[in-house]
A and B are shown apart, each in its own frame.
Chain A
């Protein structure tokens, strides 16, 4: 039942966007000229493209996010049966977390968490 409702919500969202954009295109006035299509940056014409290199710091944080997000995903099944697993479950998760926190501490020490 729920997966059908999910598809219903998904399709409704798509229909809403398409309908509103079509209505907007029909109702709204349009006029075009060469300057209008330029990127909205400043008064003078834009130099070059914007698809260029950007700061590597973002990439570092993305990698760190990946590690910890996968960790969170792995912990969800444990968390939902934590009550019945008892202390054995807690101890085994402590090992898992210890290794991860070691990784975070290493990144911290190396200065990967600083924004330079």
Chain B
């Protein structure tokens, strides 16, 4: 398996530890990990924004960006430079400290969660023994960021947007958490490496088809709501609240909220991939006639598997976003508390019984 990045990582680690004293090697490794994570974060954000613009255009029978570079692919670089060059408007009546802390919280929440995803075999950055719990915990920092952003801007639109967003995010976090809990029952571990290794023979969605499929659908709905997109975008309903909680942010500060939103979409897809669709594990058919097929599947590198699954879920999320009309807040809370919550609690018990029987 020469295509795996695992060997490169091992080679770099061995090379560094053999040629340098321990502390220097560790320091260089930390810097490298930070830089690589940052690069991946930014590149994924660019790809996601490009996909969104192109696909949204096709849904609306437009062409989308097509002038700058081949198929408009350099448009993103132009946009990035433009957003750096935009004026940062100083607003006079805000709470300055909280106004800046909000940006940090939104970015830290998504970046630290991003680091916990495993992109391929042997490519684990943050690998706690309570990994999946850590993901749930640290990703809720974003809610605090959004609430602070809306509150500190001293604008009525941002306040309403932040309150709606807070109510929506905390409500849907419950069913997302319970769906993951359901899969933890099946996995028997909170460690992400263990969860992925447990899916070597069959992805979890095939190991317990009924409860896992229900949990998967609930997680996708709840996760989609947590990214403030699609039919659940009432925190930033542009016809009512201009831009919701980030109305008062401008220039690169606005860019960070935008970045965090897109990356959260990828993180939701990544977590769903890890927990339900086997992470970077290839697809196998357990039958005698399928050994050739399994060999071909094994030959595809693990990071391609992960990114492929995650991007399929991202495309699904884009499709949903451009298909359904926006919900009202009472419908939104009704959907969560009266439909998704009871179903996910019941589903958790079904999974527990399933694990006991099979």
Contact = CB atoms under 8 A, between A and B. Distances in A.
B102 to A, nearest CB: 11
Interface centre among A3, A23, A29, A82 (most CB of B within 10 A): A82
B72 interface: no
A80 B333 contact: no
Interface centre among B93, B156, B173 (most CB of A within 10 A): B156
Given A68-B174, A90-B353, A9 B34 contact: yes
Nearest to A90: B352
Contact of A80 (B30, B174, B189): B189
A111 to B, nearest CB: 12
A80 B190 contact: yes
Nearest to B184: A79
Interface residues on B, range: 35 or more
A8 to B, nearest CB: 5
Contacts, number: 197
A56 B133 CA distance: 31
Contacts of B255: 20
Interface stretch (B206-214, B215-223, B337-345): B337-345
Interface in A47-104: 49-51, 54-55, 57-58, 61-62, 64-65, 68-69, 72, 75-76, 79-84, 86-87, 90, 93-94, 97, 101, 104
A53 to B, nearest CB: 11
B294 interface: no
A108 interface: yes
B355 A97 contact: no
A17 B256 contact: yes
A14 B105 CA distance: 9
A97 B345 contact: yes
Interface residues of A, number: 67
Majority SS at the chain B contact face? helix
Contacts of A104: 337, 341-342
Contacts of B114: 9
Nearest to A84: B188
A113 B87 contact: no
A14 B115 CA distance: 14
B337 A113 contact: yes
A44 interface: no
A49 B93 CA distance: 9
A58 B167 contact: yes
A57 to B, nearest CB: 8
A14 B34 contact: no
A43 interface: no
Nearest to B154: A50
Interface in B120-162: 125-128, 133, 151, 153-160
Given A36-B89, A61-B333, A4 B181 contact: no
A72 B155 CA distance: 35
A94 B30 CA distance: 45
B233 interface: no
Interface of A: 1-6, 8-14, 16-17, 20-21, 23-25, 27-32, 36-41, 46, 49-51, 54-55, 57-58, 61-62, 64-65, 68-69, 72, 75-76, 79-84, 86-87, 90, 93-94, 97, 101, 104, 108, 113-115
30 contacts: A2-B126, A8-B30, A9-B34, A9-B125, A14-B104, A16-B38, A20-B84, A21-B253, A23-B252, A24-B84, A24-B86, A27-B84, A28-B85, A37-B89, A37-B92, A39-B155, A50-B155, A50-B156, A51-B159, A57-B167, A61-B167, A62-B170, A65-B171, A69-B177, A76-B133, A82-B352, A83-B355, A84-B188, A97-B345, A113-B338
Given A5-B33, A9-B115, 15 more contacts: A4-B30, A5-B30, A12-B35, A14-B108, A27-B84, A28-B87, A37-B91, A37-B92, A39-B93, A40-B247, A41-B156, A61-B167, A72-B174, A80-B189, A115-B329
